[in-house]
Chains A and B, each alone.
Chain A
Amino acid sequence: MIEHPLLNPTRRHFLRDCSLGLAGLWLAGQGGAHAASAAAGGVLKKDAAHPWRPETGHFPARAKRVIYLHMAGSPSQLDLFDYKPELEKLDGKDCPQSVLAGKQFAFIQGVPKMLGTQFPFKQHGQSGQWISDRLPHLAGCADELCVVRSMYTDQFNHGPAQLLMHTGSQSPGHASFGAWSTYGLGSENDNLPGFIVLTSGGKNPDAGKSVWGSGYLPSVYQGVQCRSAGEPVLFLQDPPGVDRAARRRSLDALAEINAATASTVGDPETVTRMAQYEMAFRMQLHAAEAFDLTKEPAEVHELYGTQPGKESFANNCLLARRLAERGVRFIQLFDWGWDSHGAGQSEALNHGFKGKCESVDKACAALLTDLRRRGLLEDTLVIWGGEFGRTPMRENRQGQEMAFIGRDHNPGAFTLWMAGGGVKAGTSYGATDEIGYQAAVDKVSVADFHATTLALLGFDHMKFNYPINGVPMRLSNVTKPGSKVVRGLMA
């Protein structure tokens, strides 16, 4: 935290003394919450004036921060990671009824044809991970990856499935992974939001802003969506005619006035507000600096394939590294455009998919390389994946063969990879059935994924909860008992 030289003693004194005395609503509120669920364990005491103060979990953290690269729309695992020679043999044949029975699809109708992998696969690295030729750069990092091939979900539409991946529940109103993380761990940078969201691909995720919401947790823990081009945070710049010195003077006057108000009125929110204005001031400085990619050397731009000022996934990856370096706890990227139905050229497996892969392949590999060489990968958990998988059948809207090649949504199996903080590098975990339709061996549910990632951050997912209406809500979803930490993913 940077103390400004002009910070006047009155305000500093006041902030120090009064924030202890008038500790804000939350502490008092938490007292009640604590009493209500003390036996269930771990409700945190948070100070409203310092909501992002760094904290520790139930046990030592293997990862201190998270960079989550969500490919919204859900890339085809069958064409990137989940190599299925059996499926290739079935290519073009009618899908057997036994496979279709009792299944619901977003678009497939009647009897679809099976669709073999569209691209050559090879094993890579010491670990021999199977990766297709769509991701050549990432394949070079195969030994860093822990590839989970047996993920499954119970949602087959984008919105609910994205909510489930990010909040543990398919319905809106629950706290997101990032919100839980910052609520639990605070932030290591007082000058930037602890949970930052960056989007690329031209659109926000289908489920909207709820996927980075704070749900029932205090709203300061919601993700702050920043823009990777232009002003990163709205209204970050001082208005014309107000320079930094003027703003500082203005905030000093404000602090003096608000301190007097706090003393006479006694509203603890006033004290919180004073702290928030100070943070806003620091954020103006630090966010602008953190988002300024022009300072990066040419070699780095070469590595990521970045162009400052452009809105791209690559730029967001580089920003993610810069934010991680600065102690931001949770950096959430969404890249839109992975919904390869074959309904249009831009998303079809035989057209736009190639470009989509190129737009993330180099940047993902660069991010891992860059984090590794800066010593950040050890305690940064990097996650890559969509919200569900895609079918081994070719999509056939209205029962008709479509002009382009694509696959429908498949909740039964998908692939997700992790790297860095505490995960077993160079591993493949779990397997799907012969055609890649259903997770079959060492299945990992979304709740298991949450339990495991929380464990890497130092939390017992069963004890890390927040009581609402008498229910101890948790990320691993209280209505889905039996979720477990997957030790096989952990180093």
Chain B
Amino acid sequence: MPAVNRKSILTLSVASLLAGAADARSAMEFNRDIRPILTSHCTSCHGGVKSAGGVSFVYREKALGKGKSGAAIIVPGKPEESEIMARVVSKDPEEVMPKPEHGPPLKPAEIERLRQWIAEGAVWSEHWSLVPPVAAAVPEVQDKTWSRVDWDAFIKARLEAGGLNPSPEAGAAEWLRRVSLDLTGLPPSLEDFQAWQKALAADPRAAREAVVDRLLASPAYGERWATVWLDLARYADTYGYEKDPHRDIWPWRDWVIRALNADMPFDQFTIKQLAGDELPDATSDDLLATAFHRNTQNNTEGGTNDEEFRAVAIVDRVNTTWTTWQATTFGCVQCHAHPYDPYPHADYYKFMSFFDSSEDADLDNDFPRFPVAAKMEDGGPLAALWKESRELRRALNDEGAAMAGKDASWQILKPLSAKASGGTLTIGDGGRVTAGGTLPVGVVHTLEAAAVPGLTALRLRIFPDKDDPLSWPERASVLSHLTLSSVAADGRREEVKIKEVIADYLAGPFDPQESLDGGPGGFGSYPAQSGGRWCVVVLEKPLAAAEGGKLEIAMKQGAVSNANQQACTLRNFTWETSTSPAWTSWLAAPERAEKWARLGEVKAAISRMPATSVPVMLERSAPAARDTRVWVRGNRLTKSDAVQPGVPERLSPPETPGRMSRLDMARWLVGGRNPLTSRVLANRLWAEMFGRGIVETLEDFGSSGALPTHPELLDFLAVRLAGAQGWSMKKHLREIALSATYAQTCRTTAEAVARDPGNALLARGPRQRLSAEMMRDHALKVSGLLSGKMGGPPVYPPQPAGVWNSVYSGESWKTSEGEDRYRRGVYTYVKRTSGYPGFLSFDAPARDLCSARRLPTNTPLQALVTLNDPAYLEMAAALAERVEKDGGTPLEQITRACRLITLGDPPAELTGALSRLYVATLEDARARQAAGGKSDTTPERAAMILVANTLLNTDLALNR
């Protein structure tokens, strides 16, 4: 889905301001002059989705071709022969384009631009963001003294071209507050300010560098920047959807904070999160990192189709990957070719294929999960044990599967009778048993056959309901409990002991051995099946059956899929028998017993280590890989051609041949040939520091997104970030924080605002409202309440009763005690269906889906939060106590409180207005006391609390 936004409209005006009206004599530039005309007037009918009359303006070859009418659409050099010109100037309502009911006609200037462009040869260029970035030389500027970093010149040159001057340097307090909040999300302390002032007097440059380095090294840095990533990753502490139960995925949130604090290069940061499980020698952290894509919602509402919501989750993974790394509205391509950008329909499914064969399947237990050790030092050993247990289990099974292939003695078992405890069974040709009727959960199929003397193993083959792969996946089939009995001619029955159940391959949440215990799990595909499966049941010892004896096979099917709605029954199967003695001797081999014993030890060791089980990405084994197909019109129920994993042709796929893995895809994203990733990241970091991106639509670098205000600067930054800076976000932010552009004051005039309301040209410094989390953290820090405790399970700061209306989950908001009450906002519990009210009011997203940008709003409901929320009152009370503790007159106390925000001497209006408020409130409180009114606080404290509450609501406090 394209993330639409209101702010991009600003960009249209600024972009035209920047581009200027193209001089009639200068050459036309396709991306600047022509593409916007096509995108706004033509491509909704003549684009990637619809190409009415066989005409499309998304691909060059089509635009320069012929329409269905046979007319040449665009003839380079010959506007008079180009049908497009005839159509846009036509006065005939039947002929004119756009059709009057579809939109307004082209303006004369637009027609002129088209004409000139065709006359000049109709030179087509790729959309800007698809051309790899190249660092241009830093431009020449008139005033060479202004720049502090080389790229400041790009900003200055643009200002000079527009006849504008940059703003003066921000004062010491303004800059320190801004850079502290931008880099760490916390305001500076008075001590920080005093130290900075002292250093500034000695050596301004060194002083600035020291401040920025200190902030980047602070652990608070990771906590602040994690929020940006958590919005993209749609991190939440619950599953989402109707029931929205708890999910333990906070260790991943802590991993993000640690990775950011360690300044993990962004290419590594990317690879680990998208494909850490596929890295050779993956560590505990590598596996944990993959929880990025397990932040998708999981639907546990009764009756919801597991496969449907697995599909929703992988679609979300595709869209989130494209928004986060490529700023591309790839979601459009799910249903049809992209309307504006060059991505054919099948590209979506090629890319989806990277995510289609993961183990997770919308199961209620969030399978698969990985134990993240509670103690950091246990991480390595625990991951090693976990890996060993998986490998051992696989080896044990695969040896058996290979044996089954070598066994030449398999014979079809033709049952004498077949009965189901609910429903009907029919025995067909070749021993094929098919089921009909109700087949409820827990149904038992009982088959009777002539006993096979010397029987050592049985093979169950499950067949699909329909042979057409386009109709897959189908309802699951799981053999939950298998019992064999030998029935002698005289009716004596004896249980035939089964030693092992070997599956064709291991996949899904159940172990085939579970077919031998009484639980609902066991051999089969779960929660849905695609194609046939088989398993071998190996007997403890060869069957000693007498003449006339029978074998009874009882098959219980207790598994339920689709959130407890659909019975996973056996509906179409055969049994085969083997008398090969190899099975018995193989079972008895001491190496096998040792492996089983070792597996038991490993599992026991794992369970002894304290850990949190976190959902992670794990790939199904090759034979279990899903068959990804194109969904016709985006509907998963109508499948067509099978596709191989791959990335769009227009984005320079890797040249190495062979099937691409998820790991290859992750490497491609951060590889040198991808034109988008470095730009998208540079733009995001820029936007956090300046309040708007060089490309304002952080989520869309396509032709429907905004154009960059400073394209050369963006490319310069992108090349430096991925090159010289080695994908270091800290190095990149350091340069921004030390730039002259960033150092400007935000103080401005009405004229300047009118000229550039969004500050696109950066003729002044940034001024941003605090983000939702910063709003809380700032007030906690100023009031002295903030806890520095890092990491761990989410916390429950005070919120109004009744906000959590968890009808089904039975969970409740238990307000945290002690320091957990005052933790940073990043640790506040994120419930998808009921976000923390104080954060939602300040534009925090619900975290249902990837969110690339918070649009800042300014509403009365925000005022109600910071004025009246008891949490803010508690902070005001703490601030009042804090300033009272140091004594002095009320004015001195008020001034101290103000300094926590202004750092320098507070303006007279601030202290004056607050002092008058103090006096009036104090008089009032005293009068009330004199009249016999009761209060928990002294009149002085009550007045100071209101002063503190007011101070925390000033525009000075709410902004950075």
- From known contacts A238-B868, A253-B914, A273-B955, infer whether A469 and B700 are also in contact, taking CB-CB under 8 Å: yes
CB contact between A469 and one of B705, B913, B921 (< 8 Å): that residue: B705
Asked if B104 contacts A249 (CB within 8 A), the reply is no
Q: Which residues of B contact A39 (CB under 8 A)?
A: 104-105, 107
Q: Which residues of B contact A107 (CB under 8 A)?
A: 303
Asked if B860 contacts A283 (CB within 8 A), the reply is yes
Q: Mark A5-49, 1 if CB is under 8 A from B, else 0.
A: 000000000000000011001001111110111011000000010
Q: How far is the CA of A37 from the CA of B98 in the complex (A)?
A: 14
Q: Mark B688-703, 1 if CB is under 8 A from A, else 0.
A: 0000000001001000
Q: How far is the CA of A40 from the CA of B747 in the complex (A)?
A: 37
In the assembled complex, the CB of A90 is this many whole angstroms from the nearest CB of chain B, namely 25
Q: Is A391 an interface residue (CB 8 A)?
A: no
In the assembled complex, the CB of B441 is this many whole angstroms from the nearest CB of chain A, namely 11
Q: Mark A201-239, 1 if CB is under 8 A from B, else 0.
A: 011101011000001111110001001001101111111
Q: How far is the CA of A264 from the CA of B750 in the complex (A)?
A: 11
Asked if B39 contacts A219 (CB within 8 A), the reply is no
Asked if B955 contacts A233 (CB within 8 A), the reply is no
Asked if A253 contacts B857 (CB within 8 A), the reply is no
Chain A residue, CB-CB nearest to B935? A241
Q: How far is the CA of A397 from the CA of B302 in the complex (A)?
A: 13
Q: How far is the CA of A37 from the CA of B107 in the complex (A)?
A: 11
CB contact between A277 and one of B1, B16, B36, B953 (< 8 Å): that residue: B953
CB contact between B753 and one of A22, A259, A397 (< 8 Å): that residue: A22
Asked if A36 contacts B946 (CB within 8 A), the reply is no
Q: Is B858 an interface residue (CB 8 A)?
A: yes
CB contact between A29 and one of B9, B858, B956 (< 8 Å): that residue: B9
CB contact between A253 and one of B9, B750, B916, B924 (< 8 Å): that residue: B916
Which residues 815-868 of B sit at the A interface, judged by CB distance below 8 A? 833, 837, 843, 846, 848-849, 855, 857-865, 867-868
CB contact between A171 and one of B1, B566, B864 (< 8 Å): that residue: B1
Asked if B953 contacts A173 (CB within 8 A), the reply is no
Q: Is B942 an interface residue (CB 8 A)?
A: yes
Q: How far is the CA of A209 from the CA of B864 in the complex (A)?
A: 20
Q: Which residues of B contact A280 (CB under 8 A)?
A: 860-861, 863-864, 867
Which residues 306-320 of B sit at the A interface, judged by CB distance below 8 A? none
Q: Which residues of A contact B5 (CB under 8 A)?
A: 216, 468
Q: Is A254 an interface residue (CB 8 A)?
A: yes
Q: Is B920 an interface residue (CB 8 A)?
A: yes
29 contacting pairs across A/B (C-beta < 8 A): A25-B10, A25-B757, A29-B758, A171-B1, A227-B802, A230-B802, A236-B864, A241-B945, A242-B946, A250-B950, A253-B917, A253-B950, A254-B950, A256-B913, A257-B913, A257-B956, A264-B907, A265-B748, A267-B746, A267-B748, A267-B767, A269-B858, A269-B955, A273-B863, A277-B863, A280-B864, A468-B5, A469-B2, A472-B103
Asked if B103 contacts A31 (CB within 8 A), the reply is no
Chain A residue, CB-CB nearest to B918? A253
In the assembled complex, the CB of B768 is this many whole angstroms from the nearest CB of chain A, namely 10
Interface size class of A (residues with CB under 8 A): 35 or more
Q: Is B111 an interface residue (CB 8 A)?
A: no
Chain A residue, CB-CB nearest to B950? A250
Q: How far is the CA of A264 from the CA of B174 in the complex (A)?
A: 13
Q: Which of B769, B859, B914 gathers the greatest number of chain A CB atoms within 10 Å? A: B859
Asked if A33 contacts B864 (CB within 8 A), the reply is no
- From known contacts A233-B864, A253-B913, A254-B954, infer whether A35 and B13 are also in contact, taking CB-CB under 8 Å: yes
Chain B residue, CB-CB nearest to A172? B1
Q: Is A470 an interface residue (CB 8 A)?
A: yes
Q: Is B790 an interface residue (CB 8 A)?
A: no
CB contact between A219 and one of B843, B848, B920, B950 (< 8 Å): that residue: B843
Chain A residue, CB-CB nearest to B747? A265
Chain A residue, CB-CB nearest to B954? A257
Interface size class of B (residues with CB under 8 A): 35 or more
Q: How far is the CA of A130 from the CA of B867 in the complex (A)?
A: 53
Q: Is A285 an interface residue (CB 8 A)?
A: no
Asked if B757 contacts A29 (CB within 8 A), the reply is yes
CB contact between A245 and one of B753, B924, B942, B959 (< 8 Å): that residue: B924
Q: Which residues of B contact A253 (CB under 8 A)?
A: 913-914, 916-917, 950
Q: Which residues of B contact A470 (CB under 8 A)?
A: 36, 39-40, 704
Q: Is B402 an interface residue (CB 8 A)?
A: no
In the assembled complex, the CB of A192 is this many whole angstroms from the nearest CB of chain B, namely 10
Asked if B937 contacts A241 (CB within 8 A), the reply is yes
Asked if B913 contacts A235 (CB within 8 A), the reply is no
In the assembled complex, the CB of A20 is this many whole angstroms from the nearest CB of chain B, namely 10
Q: How far is the CA of A105 from the CA of B404 in the complex (A)?
A: 42
Asked if A25 contacts B758 (CB within 8 A), the reply is yes
Q: How far is the CA of A107 from the CA of B305 in the complex (A)?
A: 10
Chain B residue, CB-CB nearest to A206? B242
Asked if B917 contacts A249 (CB within 8 A), the reply is yes
Asked if B857 contacts A231 (CB within 8 A), the reply is no
Q: Which residues of A contact B7 (CB under 8 A)?
A: 29
Q: Is B803 an interface residue (CB 8 A)?
A: yes
Asked if B13 contacts A258 (CB within 8 A), the reply is no
Q: Which residues of A contact B303 (CB under 8 A)?
A: 107, 343, 397
In the assembled complex, the CB of A460 is this many whole angstroms from the nearest CB of chain B, namely 13
Q: Which residues of A contact B514 (CB under 8 A)?
A: none
Q: How far is the CA of A252 from the CA of B487 in the complex (A)?
A: 94
CB contact between A276 and one of B6, B14, B802, B859 (< 8 Å): that residue: B859
Asked if A236 contacts B1 (CB within 8 A), the reply is no
Q: Is A246 an interface residue (CB 8 A)?
A: yes
Asked if B9 contacts A467 (CB within 8 A), the reply is yes
Q: Mark B895-925, 1 if CB is under 8 A from A, else 0.
A: 0000000000001011011101100110010
Which residues 1-39 of B sit at the A interface, judged by CB distance below 8 A? 1-14, 16, 36, 39
- From known contacts A173-B1, A208-B846, A249-B921, infer whether A234 and B837 are also in contact, taking CB-CB under 8 Å: yes
Q: Which residues of A contact B864 (CB under 8 A)?
A: 233-236, 280, 283-284
CB contact between A257 and one of B101, B846, B855, B909 (< 8 Å): that residue: B909
Q: How far is the CA of A319 from the CA of B921 in the complex (A)?
A: 36
In the assembled complex, the CB of B34 is this many whole angstroms from the nearest CB of chain A, namely 13
Q: Which residues of B contact A174 (CB under 8 A)?
A: 4
CB contact between A258 and one of B565, B867, B935, B955 (< 8 Å): that residue: B955
Asked if A22 contacts B750 (CB within 8 A), the reply is yes
Q: Is B532 an interface residue (CB 8 A)?
A: no
Asked if A276 contacts B863 (CB within 8 A), the reply is yes
Q: Which residues of B contact A279 (CB under 8 A)?
A: 860, 863
Q: Mark B627-640, 1 if CB is under 8 A from A, else 0.
A: 00000000001000
In the assembled complex, the CB of B173 is this many whole angstroms from the nearest CB of chain A, namely 13
Q: How far is the CA of A202 from the CA of B937 in the complex (A)?
A: 40
Q: Is A127 an interface residue (CB 8 A)?
A: no
Supplied contacts A261-B955, A266-B750, 11 more A-B pairs, CB within 8 Å: A28-B757, A31-B13, A32-B14, A36-B9, A231-B800, A267-B955, A273-B863, A276-B863, A467-B12, A469-B700, A471-B704
Q: Which of A215, A217, A257, A479 gathers the greatest number of chain B CB atoms within 10 Å? A: A257
Chain B residue, CB-CB nearest to A215? B4
Which residues 65-80 of B sit at the A interface, judged by CB distance below 8 A? none
Q: Is A473 an interface residue (CB 8 A)?
A: yes
Q: How far is the CA of A280 from the CA of B864 in the complex (A)?
A: 6
In the assembled complex, the CB of B79 is this many whole angstroms from the nearest CB of chain A, namely 23
Q: Which residues of B contact A240 (CB under 8 A)?
A: 873
In the assembled complex, the CB of B298 is this many whole angstroms from the nearest CB of chain A, namely 16
- From known contacts A267-B767, A467-B9, infer whether A202 and B104 are also in contact, taking CB-CB under 8 Å: no
In the assembled complex, the CB of B703 is this many whole angstroms from the nearest CB of chain A, namely 9
In the assembled complex, the CB of B98 is this many whole angstroms from the nearest CB of chain A, namely 11
- From known contacts A233-B864, A249-B917, A257-B909, infer whether A33 and B9 are also in contact, taking CB-CB under 8 Å: yes
Q: Mark B921-960, 1 if CB is under 8 A from A, else 0.
A: 1001000000000011100001001100110011110110
Which residues 228-251 of B sit at the A interface, judged by CB distance below 8 A? 242
In the assembled complex, the CB of B300 is this many whole angstroms from the nearest CB of chain A, namely 15
Q: Is B204 an interface residue (CB 8 A)?
A: no
Q: Is A398 an interface residue (CB 8 A)?
A: yes
CB contact between B946 and one of A35, A104, A246, A258 (< 8 Å): that residue: A246
Q: Which residues of B contact A208 (CB under 8 A)?
A: 833, 846, 848
